[in-house]
C-alpha cells in the first residue's frame, strides 16, 4: 500500500521513474481488464452452475468438478494432449533455434530472406486450411505422403486413420505451422545481440561453438523461455487442427482437452462441464509456466 | 528504405481510417434474418432471399440470408441466441436441441402446424416436433441412407446389378465377391463396402444405425429415457458384430481406404450407403461412375426411412419479428414452392404430393426412395442430448472397428454412459 | 557490423580456413533443404489449385495437372465469393490489430522490463495468464460483452479482443530486457525524460522485435477464423478465412477451390512479409550501439 502511495505521490526520482513504468503498462492493463475480466469471471462462474433443459441454471457447487475430474473420457483427452505437447513442443523449439542460427549465418541477404520466407509461410496459412491441406497429403490412398514413401519401398500407412500414427501426424502439422513463428522470434533476437560481445570473445580466442554456448544461448535466454511458454500454451490448447481433420478420432485417439471442451459446450450444451475443463486447462498451464519460469529464467548479466 | 517503409505505413493508416468509417448509407430496412449452415446447398439457401423479395411486396419485409460455416456453427448460434441480440429471426436447426435443450424456439401457429401434419410423408411428422409440439418445418427429405452400387463392378464380379441383395446375408456374400484381396496380404485393392472410417463418433453412429435397425435393435427405449437393455441388447450386439466383422473378419471393407465417398467415386469400392445428396456429389466429382440406387438390405426388419439429423426451419423465440417470420413461412408453405425450392438445388422435395412429380421420377433414386418409404418407419431418437448420446454410443462402434474390444463389453459401457447422460 | 558472420568486414571468404568454408556451405545446404521441405505443401497446394475435381481424385496419384494454365478454380472462387472484399476486410482488421498491438505492447513491454513498480510481476503474470484461458470457453460471455458495446458485425467487433495481444507484450518485454541498463542510465544522465528514453533509446534497439510483432500479429489476425465467424453476419463484413471455409461443408471439402482460395489468401501476407522482413534483418545496422 505504501509503495502505491509513493507511486501516486512520488517523493524522489526513483518513485517518479516507477510511476512512469506503471503508466507505460497501464494502457495494456486497462485493455485486458476491460475486455477480458468480465467474460473470464462469467466463464468461471459457469463452472458452478448446471444448465437444465429449457435453459434454467442451478447452483451445484463443486459437483461438476467432481463429475468432470472423475470422467475417464476427460483423462484420455488430457493424456492425448500431453502426448501431443511432448511430440511438438521440443521439436518445434529445437528446430526453430537451429534454423534461426543457420539463417543468421547465411551471408547472402537475398537468399537468406528467401529461405526465411519459406520457413515462415506455414504461419501465414490459417490453421484450419493448413490442417485440411495436410489431411489431404496424409490421405492413405491418393495422398502425396504415401505416394512418396512408395518410392522408398514403404507400404501405405494410414496416418490420420491409425490409432498410433494419428498423434504424431497431427503434431507434425503443429510443428510445421509454428516453426516459422519461433524462428522469426529467434532471428530477431539474434540480430539484436551487440556485435562487441562476439568481437571480445574472438579476441579471447573463443571458437564458434564456444561463442554459441557462452554468448548466443545465454543472451537468447529470454526468447527461449518465452518461446517454450508460448509453444506449451499453443500446443496444449490445440483445437483447430483436430477439429478440422479427425474431430478426435479414430476411437478418441486424437481427442484433446479443448476438443472435448468445445463438444461439451457447443454440441452437448453443457457449459458448466466445459467451464470446469477451462479452469483445469488454465491452472495446469499456469503451474507449468511458473515452473518453467523458475527453472529457465536466469537474470541476464551484462 | 526507412522512409519508404514509414510512408507505406502512413498510407496504410489513411486507407484504414477511410474504410473503417461505417457505412452511413446503411438504411435500417425492415428485414427478416435467416441463418443456415447448409453451405452445400447455396441455391436452396438463396431461394429464401428470392422469395423474400416477393414477400416484401406484400409486407415490406425482405429476407436476409446468412450462411454460416459448418466449422464451429454451433458456437455462433448459441452465442447469439443467449445474447438475444444479433440473433436471427429464423434459422435452420434441430428442434430437439434448440427447443428441447434450450428454450429458443417459437411454437408454430396452429394453422400452419395443421398444414404440415397433413402434407408430410409419415416418417417426417415427428421431425420438427419436441414433446408433441411442432416448432419446425422439416426441410430435408431423403436424409436417410440408401444403397448406391457400382454397376460395372457388379457385372465384373458376376452379379446382376438389377437384382441387388435383399438380405444382409446376401449382401455380405455379394460384398465378398466384390472384394479383391491383395495377394501380398496387405489392404485389399478393391473393397465391397466403403465404410466410414474416421471422424466424430456421432457420424459413425449415424452410419451404423441402418445395421442396428436391420437387426431390430434400437439405441434408446421408446420413451427415450433408458439405454441399458436397448443400446446393449443382444440384437445390437449381433448388429455390431456383423458391422465390425466387415472390417475385421470378412475384410470386405477397409479402414485404410480413405474417405468412403472418394473410394466409391474412384471405383475402389463397389457399394456405399449414403443419403440422397450423394448422387449430386457423384455427378460432379465422379461423372464416369455408372451407379444405381436401391433400398437398404434387410435382416430381421428392413431399415426404412428415418433420420438422425432432423433439420428444420425454426423461428427464434425472442425475435421481435417472429410474427412476421411465421407469415413468411406461411407464404412459402405450399406444394408448389416446396417443389421449386428443393428442385433449385436438385434435392428431394418434402411434401407428399411432390414425391411423384416428373422431376422426382427422373431421379435415379426415385424407386429406391419409394421402397424405403414403404418400409416401417425406424426408431428415431430426437432427444435434446442426441449429440452426446450418439457420441457415447459411437465410441463403442469405433472401438469395435479399431479392434479395441469386443462388441458386448463396449456396448455395455456405452449403455451405462448413455444412462448417466440421460439422468444428468 | 552484426552477428551475421565474423568475416563481414572483408570479402565473404577472406580469412576463413577451407574447413570453415565447407562448414558454411553445409549450413546453407541444411537450411535450404529444410526450407524446401517446409515449403512443399504450398507447392502441392498451388498445383492442386490448377486441377479439376475429378483430376484430384485420380488413383494412382498424378503429380502434374493436366493443364498448367487451368485457372478455372480461381475464377470460380471469385465468382462464388466476393473475395476481393474479403481481402480488403482482412487487411483492415489485421492492420488495425497489428498497429495498435505494436504501440501498446512496446510501451507495456518497456514498463515490465525496466521498471520496478509494485506488483509488477503479478501484473505480468496476470497478462500472460490471459493466454492460458481457452478461448472457446469465453466466446459466449465475450459475445455478450461485445453486444453490450454495440460492436457486433463491425470491424471493431472483430478486432476488439485482439487490439493488444498478450504475445506482443511478452515479446517486447523479452526484447527490451536484452537492452543493457547502461544505455538507459546514460540517457537519464543526459537528461532524457522516460518517454523520451522510450522513443530514442528503446525503440531503435528493438526494431527487429517490432517488425516481428507487426508481421506476426498481422498474420495472426489475418488467419483468425473462429471469432470473426461468431461476430460477423453481413456478407460484406466477412474476412478471408470465412471465404476460405465456405469451400468446405458438412459433407465434403472442395479441395481444388479451397487450395485456390488459400493461394489467394496467402499472397498478400507474403508481400507484407517480404516488405517487413528487411526490417527484421537489417534494422540492427541502425541500432547505433552507443556503448
Q: Residue B411 above 60 pLDDT?
A: yes
Q: Which residues of A touch C189 (CB under 8 A)?
A: none
- B388, A268 contact by CB (below 8 A): yes
Q: Give the burial string for B62-97 (b: 16+ CB within 10 Å, else e).
A: bbbbbbbbbbbbbbbbbbbbbbeebbbbbbbbbbbb
> Which residue from C111, C133, C167 is facing A24, i.e. has the nearest CB?
C111
pTM over 0.95: no
**A66 falls in which pLDDT band (50, 70, 90)?**
very high
Sign of CA dihedral B345, B347, B351, B355: positive
Q: Which residues of B touch A143 (CB under 8 A)?
A: 258
Give residue B218's pLDDT. 93
- B51, B337 contact by CB (below 8 A): yes
C191 phi, psi to nearest 5 deg:
90, 20
Strand locations in B217-280 (E): 269-274
**A7–C118 C-beta distance less than 8 A:** yes
Nearest 5°: the CA angle B27, B28, B32 is 125
> Which residue from A27, A111, A147 is facing C107, i.e. has the nearest CB?
A27
**A289–C289 C-beta distance less than 8 A:** no
Q: Nearest chain B Cα to C245, which residue?
A: B69
Q: How many residues belong to chain A?
A: 302
What count of other Cβ atoms lies within 10 Å of the Cβ of residue B338?
20
> Which residue from A53, A142, A246 is facing B101, i.e. has the nearest CB?
A53
pLDDT tens digit sequence for B215-230 = 999 999 999 999 999 9
**B16 falls in which pLDDT band (50, 70, 90)?**
low
Enter the C-alpha cell of residue A100.
534461426
**B18 falls in which pLDDT band (50, 70, 90)?**
low
Closest chain B C-alpha to C153 CA, distance in angstroms:
8
Pairs of CB atoms within 8 A across B/C = 105
Distance (Å, whole) CA B371 – CA B378: 14
Q: Which residues of C touch B285 (CB under 8 A)?
A: 53-54, 57
Q: Which residues of B touch A155 (CB under 8 A)?
A: 186
Give residue B276's pLDDT. 86
Give residue B216's pLDDT. 93
Enter the C-alpha cell of residue B83.
445474447
Q: Does the CB of A164 have a partner CB in chain B at under 8 Å?
A: no
Q: Which three-class secondary structure state does DSSP give residue B34?
A: strand
Sign of CA dihedral A15, A21, A25, A30: positive
**C95–B86 C-beta distance less than 8 A:** no
Q: Nearest chain C Cα to B264, which residue?
A: C57
* C-contacting residues in A 148-207 (Cβ below 8 Å): 176, 179-181, 184-185, 187-196, 198, 202
Mean pLDDT, residues B346-362 taken together: 91
**B16–C275 C-beta distance less than 8 A:** no
pLDDT tens digit sequence for B286-338 = 888 999 999 999 999 998 887 778 899 999 999 999 999 999 999 999 999 99
**B385–A156 C-beta distance less than 8 A:** no
**A139–B102 C-beta distance less than 8 A:** no
Give residue C101's pLDDT. 95
More confident residue, C64 or B20: C64
Closest chain B C-alpha to A67 CA, distance in angstroms:
10
Q: Does the CB of A247 have a partner CB in chain B at under 8 Å?
A: yes
**Residue C89 falls inside a structural domain:** yes
CA distances from A256 to A235, A244, A275, B44, C38 (A): 10, 13, 15, 36, 25
Mean pLDDT, all residues of chain A: 88
Strand locations in B278-392 (E): 291-294, 311-315
Is the preceding peptide bond at A250 cis, omega within 30 degrees of 0?
Answer: yes
Closest chain B C-alpha to C120 CA, distance in angstroms:
33
- C32, C52 contact by CB (below 8 A): no
Q: Which residues of C touch A205 (CB under 8 A)?
A: none
Mean pLDDT, residues A64-87 taken together: 95
Set out the domains of chain B in order of their start, with CATH numbers: 31-141+309-366 (3.40.190.10), 146-307+379-423 (3.40.190.10)
**Residue C125 falls inside a structural domain:** yes
Q: What is the DSSP letter of B122?
A: G
Distance (Å, whole) CA B302 – CA B296: 7
**A94 falls in which pLDDT band (50, 70, 90)?**
very high
- A58, A50 contact by CB (below 8 A): yes
CATH number for the domain that contains residue C221: 1.10.3720.10
Distance (Å, whole) CA C113 – CA C120: 9
Residues 6 or more apart in contact with residue C248 via CB below 8 angstroms? A132, B39, B69, B70, B71, C254, C258
Q: Nearest chain C Cα to B83, which residue?
A: C144
**B256–A140 C-beta distance less than 8 A:** yes
State percent of chain A over pLDDT 90.
42
pLDDT tens digit sequence for B319-329 = 999 999 999 99
**C246–B71 C-beta distance less than 8 A:** no
**Residue C205 falls inside a structural domain:** yes
Contacting chains of C (3 CB pairs or more, <8 Å) are A, B
Q: In what order do the strands lie in the sheet containing B137-138?
A: B62-67, B31-36, B90-94, B311-315, B137-138
Distance (Å, whole) CA C170 – CA C113: 10
Nearest 5°: the CA angle C49, B257, B176 is 140
> Which residue from C1, C137, C266 is facing A278, i.e. has the nearest CB?
C137
- A71, A206 contact by CB (below 8 A): no
Which candidate, C150, C139, C138, A53, places its Cα nearest to that of B105? A53
Q: How many helices (H) and strands (E) does chain B have?
A: 17, 11
Q: Residue B9 above 90 pLDDT?
A: no
**B384–A247 C-beta distance less than 8 A:** no
Q: Residue B413 above 90 pLDDT?
A: yes
- C184, C197 contact by CB (below 8 A): yes
**A17–C104 C-beta distance less than 8 A:** no
Q: Nearest chain A Cα to C243, which residue?
A: A129
Mean pLDDT, residues A217-227 taken together: 90
- C109, C198 contact by CB (below 8 A): no
> Which residue from B102, B266, B401 is facing A55, i.e. has the nearest CB?
B102
Q: Which residues of C touch A115 (CB under 8 A)?
A: 31-32, 35
Q: Residue B285 above 90 pLDDT?
A: no
Q: Does the CB of C245 have a partner CB in chain B at under 8 Å?
A: yes
Options 3.30.310.220, 2.102.10.10, 3.30.9.10, 1.10.3720.10; which CATH number does A63-296 get?
1.10.3720.10
Q: At what angle do helices A217-236 and A271-296 cross, to 10 degrees?
A: 170
Extents of the domains making up chain A: 1-46, 63-296
**A250–B402 C-beta distance less than 8 A:** yes
Give residue B347's pLDDT. 86
DSSP lists the bridge partners of residue B315 as: B90
More confident residue, A155 or A70: A70
Give residue B345's pLDDT. 87
B311-315 and B191-193 beta bridge pairing: unpaired
Q: Does the CB of A153 have a partner CB in chain B at under 8 Å?
A: no
Positions in chain C short of pLDDT 50: 1-12, 283-291
Give residue C34's pLDDT. 93
Which candidate, A290, A158, A271, places its Cα nearest to that of A228? A290
**A129–C244 C-beta distance less than 8 A:** yes
Maximum alpha-carbon separation in chain C: 74
Distance (Å, whole) CA C230 – CA B51: 27
Q: Nearest chain A Cα to C144, which residue?
A: A39
**B25 falls in which pLDDT band (50, 70, 90)?**
very low
Q: Which residues of C touch B266 (CB under 8 A)?
A: 57-59
The count of structural domains within chain C is 1
* C-contacting residues in B 208-267 (Cβ below 8 Å): 259, 261-262, 265-266
pLDDT tens digit sequence for A166-215 = 999 999 999 999 999 999 889 888 887 888 888 898 899 888 889 888 88
B229 phi, psi to nearest 5 deg:
95, -15
Q: Does the CB of A9 have a partner CB in chain C at under 8 Å?
A: no
Which candidate, B89, B115, B83, places its Cα nearest to that of B34? B89
Domain range spanning residue C114?
74-286
Closest chain C C-alpha to B311 CA, distance in angstroms:
13
Q: Residue B4 above 70 pLDDT?
A: no
> Which residue from A39, A113, A185 is facing C281, i.e. has the nearest CB?
A113
Give residue A295's pLDDT. 83
Contacting chains of B (3 CB pairs or more, <8 Å) are A, C
CA distances from B271 to B80, B193, B290, C229, C275 (A): 42, 5, 12, 37, 53
> Which residue from A143, A156, A158 is facing B255, i.e. has the nearest CB?
A158
B146-150 and B291-294 beta bridge pairing: antiparallel
Distance (Å, whole) CA C67 – CA A212: 50
**B14 falls in which pLDDT band (50, 70, 90)?**
low
Closest chain A C-alpha to C36 CA, distance in angstroms:
7
Q: Which residues of A touch B286 (CB under 8 A)?
A: none
**Residue C178 falls inside a structural domain:** yes
> Which residue from A54, A139, A249 is facing B200, i.e. has the nearest CB?
A249
Q: Give the burial string for C82-121 (b: 16+ CB within 10 Å, else e).
A: ebebbbbbbbbbbbbbbbbbbebbbbbbbbbbbbebbebe
Among A266, A270, A274, A278, the residue to mutate for chain B (most B Cβ within 10 A): A266
Q: Which residues of B touch C159 (CB under 8 A)?
A: none
Contacting chains of A (3 CB pairs or more, <8 Å) are B, C
Q: Does the CB of A250 have a partner CB in chain B at under 8 Å?
A: yes
Q: Nearest chain B Cα to A56, which residue?
A: B102
**C212–A31 C-beta distance less than 8 A:** no
Q: Residue A123 above 90 pLDDT?
A: no
State percent of chain B over pLDDT 70.
92
Distance (Å, whole) CA B227 – CA B218: 9
Residues 6 or more apart in contact with residue B384 via CB below 8 angstroms? A53, A269, B96, B97, B100, B101, B130
**B40–C250 C-beta distance less than 8 A:** yes
pLDDT tens digit sequence for B138-191 = 998 888 999 999 999 999 999 999 999 999 999 999 999 999 987 776 778 899
- B233, B392 contact by CB (below 8 A): no
Amino acid at each position: 500500500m505504501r509503495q502505491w502511495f509513493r507511486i501516486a505521490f512520488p517523493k524522489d526520482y526513483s518513485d517518479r521513474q516507477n510511476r512512469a513504468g506503471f503508466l507505460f503498462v497501464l494502457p495494456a492493463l486497462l485493455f485486458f481488464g476491460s475486455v477480458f475480466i468480465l467474460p473470464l469471471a462469467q466463464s468461471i462462474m459457469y463452472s458452478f452452475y448446471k444448465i437444465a433443459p429449457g435453459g434454467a441454471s442451478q447452483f451445484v457447487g463443486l459437483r461438476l468438478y467432481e463429475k468432470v475430474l472423475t470422467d475417464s473420457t476427460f483423462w484420455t483427452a488430457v493424456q492425448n494432449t500431453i502426448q501431443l505437447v511432448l511430440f511438438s513442443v521440443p521439436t518445434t523449439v529445437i528446430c526453430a533455434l537451429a534454423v534461426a542460427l543457420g539463417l543468421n549465418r547465411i551471408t547472402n541477404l537475398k537468399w537468406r530472406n528467401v529461405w526465411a520466407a519459406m520457413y515462415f509461410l506455414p504461419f501465414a496459412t490459417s490453421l484450419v486450411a493448413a490442417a485440411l491441406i495436410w489431411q489431404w497429403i496424409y490421405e492413405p490412398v491418393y495422398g502425396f505422403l504415401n505416394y512418396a514413401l512408395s518410392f522408398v519401398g514403404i507400404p501405405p500407412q494410414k496416418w490420420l486413420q491409425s490409432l498410433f500414427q494419428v498423434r504424431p501426424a497431427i503434431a507434425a502439422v503443429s510443428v510445421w505451422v509454428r516453426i516459422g513463428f519461433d524462428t522469426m522470434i529467434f532471428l530477431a533476437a539474434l540480430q539484436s545481440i551487440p556485435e562487441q560481445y562476439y568481437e571480445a570473445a574472438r579476441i579471447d580466442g573463443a571458437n564458434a561453438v564456444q561463442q554459441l554456448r557462452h554468448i548466443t544461448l545465454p543472451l537468447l535466454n529470454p526468447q527461449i523461455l518465452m518461446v517454450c511458454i508460448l509453444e506449451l500454451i499453443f500446443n496444449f490448447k490445440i483445437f483447430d487442427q483436430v477439429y478440422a481433420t479427425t474431430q478426435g478420432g479414430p476411437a478418441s485417439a486424437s481427442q484433446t482437452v479443448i476438443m472435448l471442451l468445445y463438444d461439451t459446450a457447443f454440441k452437448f450444451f453443457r457449459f458448466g462441464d466445459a467451464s470446469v475443463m477451462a479452469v483445469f486447462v488454465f491452472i495446469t498451464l499456469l503451474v507449468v509456466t511458473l515452473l518453467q519460469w523458475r527453472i529457465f529464467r536466469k537474470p541476464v548479466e551484462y | 528504405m526507412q522512409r519508404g517503409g514509414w510512408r507505406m505505413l502512413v498510407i496504410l493508416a489513411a486507407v484504414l481510417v477511410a474504410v473503417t468509417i461505417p457505412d452511413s448509407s446503411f438504411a435500417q430496412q425492415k428485414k427478416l434474418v435467416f441463418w443456415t449452415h447448409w453451405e452445400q446447398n447455396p441455391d436452396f439457401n438463396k431461394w429464401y432471399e428470392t422469395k423474400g423479395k416477393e414477400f416484401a411486396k406484400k409486407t415490406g419485409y425482405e429476407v436476409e440470408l446468412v450462411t454460416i460455416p459448418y466449422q464451429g456453427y454451433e458456437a455462433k448460434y448459441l452465442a447469439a441466441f443467449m445474447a438475444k441480440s444479433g440473433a436471427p429471426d429464423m434459422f435452420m436447426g434441430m428442434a430437439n436441441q434448440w427447443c428441447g435443450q434450450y428454450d429458443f424456439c417459437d411454437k408454430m401457429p396452429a394453422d400452419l402446424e395443421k398444414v404440415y401434419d397433413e402434407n408430410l410423408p409419415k416418417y417426417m411428422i415427428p421431425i420438427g416436433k419436441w414433446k408433441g409440439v411442432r416448432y419446425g418445418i422439416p426441410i430435408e427429405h431423403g436424409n436417410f441412407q440408401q444403397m448406391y452400387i457400382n454397376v460395372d463392378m457388379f457385372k465384373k464380379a458376376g452379379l446382376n446389378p438389377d437384382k441387388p441383395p435383399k438380405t444382409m446375408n446376401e449382401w455380405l456374400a455379394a460384398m465378398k465377391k466384390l472384394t479383391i484381396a491383395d495377394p501380398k496380404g496387405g489392404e485389399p485393392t478393391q473393397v465391397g463396402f466403403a465404410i466410414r472410417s474416421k471422424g466424430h463418433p456421432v457420424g459413425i453412429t449415424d452410419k451404423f444405425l441402418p445395421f442396428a435397425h436391420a437387426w431390430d435393435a434400437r439405441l434408446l427405449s421408446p420413451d427415450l429415457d433408458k439405454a441399458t437393455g436397448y443400446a446393449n441388447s443382444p440384437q445390437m450386439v449381433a448388429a455390431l458384430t456383423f458391422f465390425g466383422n466387415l472390417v475385421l473378419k470378412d475384410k470386405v471393407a477397409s479402414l485404410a481406404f480413405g474417405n468412403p465417398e472418394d473410394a466409391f467415386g474412384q471405383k475402389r469400392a463397389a457399394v456405399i450407403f449414403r443419403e440422397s445428396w450423394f448422387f449430386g456429389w457423384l455427378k460432379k466429382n465422379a461423372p464416369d461412375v455408372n451407379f444405381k440406387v436401391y433400398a437398404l438390405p434387410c435382416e430381421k426388419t428392413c431399415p426404412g426411412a428415418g433420420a438422425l439429423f432432423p433439420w428444420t426451419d425454426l423461428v427464434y423465440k425472442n425475435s421481435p419479428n417472429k410474427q412476421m417470420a411465421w407469415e413468411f413461412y406461411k407464404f412459402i408453405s405450399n406444394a408448389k414452392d416446396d417443389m421449386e425450392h428443393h428442385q433449385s438445388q436438385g434435392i428431394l422435395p418434402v411434401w407428399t404430393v411432390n414425391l411423384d412429380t416428373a422431376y422426382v421420377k427422373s431421379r435415379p433414386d426415385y424407386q429406391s426412395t419409394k421402397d424405403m418409404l414403404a418400409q416401417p418407419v425406424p426408431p428415431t431418437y430426437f432427444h435434446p442430448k442426441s449429440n452426446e448420446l450418439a457420441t457415447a454410443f459411437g465410441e463403442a462402434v469405433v472401438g469395435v472397428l479399431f479392434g479395441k474390444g469386443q462388441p458386448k463389453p463396449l456396448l455395455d459401457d456405452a449403455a451405462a454412459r448413455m444412462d448417466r447422460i440421460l439422468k444428468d | 557490423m552484426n552477428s551475421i558472420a565474423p568475416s563481414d568486414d572483408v570479402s565473404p571468404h577472406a580469412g576463413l580456413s577451407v574447413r570453415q568454408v565447407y562448414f558454411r556451405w553445409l549450413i546453407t545446404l541444411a537450411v535450404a533443404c529444410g526450407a524446401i521441405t517446409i515449403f512443399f505443401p504450398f507447392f502441392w497446394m498451388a498445383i492442386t489449385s490448377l486441377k479439376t475435381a475429378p483430376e484430384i481424385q485420380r488413383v494412382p496419384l498424378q503429380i502434374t495437372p493436366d493443364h498448367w494454365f487451368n485457372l478455372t478454380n480461381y475464377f470460380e472462387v471469385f465468382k462464388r465469393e466476393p473475395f476481393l472484399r474479403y481481402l480488403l476486410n482482412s487487411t483492415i482488421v489485421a492492420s488495425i490489430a497489428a498497429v495498435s498491438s505494436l504501440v501498446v505492447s512496446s510501451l507495456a513491454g518497456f514498463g515490465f522490463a525496466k521498471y520496478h513498480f509494485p506488483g509488477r510481476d503479478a501484473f505480468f503474470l496476470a497478462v500472460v495468464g490471459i493466454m492460458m484461458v481457452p478461448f472457446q470457453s469465453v466466446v459466449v460471455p465475450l459475445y455478450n460483452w461485445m453486444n453490450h458495446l454495440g460492436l457486433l458485425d463491425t470491424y471493431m467487433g472483430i478486432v476488439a479482443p485482439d487490439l493488444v495481444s498478450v504475445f506482443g507484450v511478452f515479446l517486447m518485454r523479452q526484447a527490451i530486457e536484452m537492452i543493457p541498463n547502461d544505455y538507459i542510465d546514460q540517457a537519464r544522465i543526459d537528461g532524457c525524460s522516460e518517454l523520451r528514453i522510450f522513443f530514442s533509446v528503446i525503440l531503435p534497439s528493438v526494431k527487429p522485435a517490432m517488425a516481428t510483432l507487426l508481421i506476426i500479429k498481422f498474420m495472426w489476425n489475418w488467419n483468425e477464423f473462429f471469432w470473426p465467424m461468431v461476430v460477423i453476419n453481413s456478407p460484406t463484413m466477412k474476412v478471408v478465412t470465412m471465404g476460405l471455409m465456405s469451400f468446405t461443408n458438412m459433407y465434403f471439402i472442395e479441395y481444388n477451390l479451397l487450395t485456390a482460395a488459400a493461394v489467394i489468401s496467402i499472397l498478400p501476407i507474403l508481400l507484407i512479409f517480404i516488405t517487413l522482413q528487411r526490417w527484421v534483418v537489417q534494422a540492427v545496422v541502425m541500432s547505433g550501439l552507443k556503448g
